[in-house]
Amino acid sequence: MATNPHFLTISATTRSEADEKLNASVQQLRDLARENPTRGILVTKRGAGHFTLELSDQVPYGQTWESVNHPDSVR
C-alpha cells in the first residue's frame, strides 16, 4: 500500500502529545513544500485528539491554515 507523504493523520491522547505530533508533522510538510513551493499546509481537527494535515492548493505557500471539522465544534 502506497502512502501519501503530502497527507498525514495523527492521533494523540494529551494536549502535549498533540502539540508535539502537530509540530513534527507541520515541519515534515514544510520540508516537502519547499521542493515545489506552490502549496501551503492545512491542519484540520477531525475530533478530540484527531487531526489531518495536508499540502493544499487552497492554502498559499508559506502559510498554515487551521480548520475544525467534527461534530463537537461550535458554529
Q: Is residue 1 part of a domain?
A: no
Q: Is residue 73 part of a domain?
A: no
pLDDT tens figures, 10-47: 999 999 999 999 999 999 999 999 998 999 999 999 99
27: domain range?
Answer: 7-68
- What is the domain count for the chain? 1
Rounded distance, CA 2 to CA 44, Å?
22
Q: Is residue 75 part of a domain?
A: no
pLDDT for residue 22: 98
In 3D, which of 36, 32, 72, 35 has the Cα closest to residue 53?
32
Q: What is the average pLDDT across 41-60? A: 97
pLDDT for residue 1: 45
Q: Is residue 74 part of a domain?
A: no
